[in-house]
Amino acid sequence: MSARPEARFIPFARPSIGTEEEQAVLAVLRSGWLTTGEVAAAFEQEFAQAVGSRHALAVNSATAGLHLSLESLGVERETVVITTPYTFAATAEVIRYLGADPLFVDIDAATLNIDPAAVERALDSCRAAGRRVTAILPVHVAGLPCDMARIGGLARAHGVPVVEDAAHAFPVRVGDRFAGTLGDAGVYSFYATKTITTGEGGMVATDRDDVASRIRIMRLHGIDRDIWNRYTSPQASWRYDVVAPGFKYNLTDIAAALGRVQLARADELLARRRHIAGRYLELLAGLDGVELPHSAVEHAWHLFILRIRDGALSIDRDRFIEELRAGGIGASVHFIPLHLMSYYRERYGLRPQDFPVSLDCSRRCLSLPLYPSMSDDEVQRVAAAVIGTCRRFASS
Interface positions with ligand PLP (CB under 6 A): 61-63, 87-88, 90-91, 139, 165, 167-168, 189, 191, 202
Nearer to ligand PLP, 358 or 389 (CB): 358
Greatest pairwise CA separation for the chain in angstroms: 78
Q: How far apart are CA 57 and CA 45, in angstroms?
A: 9
Angle at CA of residue 79, ends 76 and 80, nearest 5°: 120
Q: Cis (ω within 30 of 0) for the bond into 171? A: yes
- Closest distance of CB 370 from ligand PLP, Å: 14
CA 86 to CA 355: how far, in whole Å?
Answer: 9
| Closest distance to ligand PLP from the beta carbon of 61 (Å) | 3
CA pair distance 347, 332, nearest whole angstrom = 27
| CB 143 to ligand PLP: min, Å | 10
Query: Of 90 and 220, which has the nearer Cβ to ligand PLP?
Result: 90
Nearest distance in Å: CB 1, ligand PLP? 31
Taking the least distance from each CB to ligand PLP, the nearer of 2 and 197 is 197
Question: Is 180 in contact with 194 (CB distance < 8 Å)?
Answer: no
| Catalytic residue set | 194
Nearer to ligand PLP (CB atom), residue 37 or residue 202 = 202
C-alpha to C-alpha distances, 153 to 136, 158, 182, nearest whole angstrom:
12, 9, 11
Beta pairing partners, 58: 203
CA distance 55 to 223: 19
Q: What stretch of H or E contains 58? A: strand 55-59
- Smallest gap from residue 394 Cβ to ligand PLP (A): 33
Smallest gap from residue 188 Cβ to ligand PLP (A): 8
Q: What is the 3-state secondary structure (H, E, C) of 334-354?
A: CCCCHHHCHHHHHHHCCCHHH
Alpha helices in the chain (DSSP H): 19-31, 38-51, 62-72, 89-97, 116-129, 148-158, 209-218, 253-264, 266-283, 317-326, 342-348, 356-364, 376-392
Q: Which is nearer to ligand PLP, 88 or 313 (CB)?
A: 88
Work out how close the CB of 58 gets to ligand PLP at its nearest, in angstroms, rounded to a whole number.
12
Q: Which CB, 70 or 139, lies closer to ligand PLP?
A: 139
- Which residue, among 109, 110, 138, 144, has the nearest Cα to 122 in the 3D structure? 138
HSE, side-chain direction, 13 A CA sphere, residue 364: 22
Nearer to ligand PLP, 63 or 181 (CB): 63
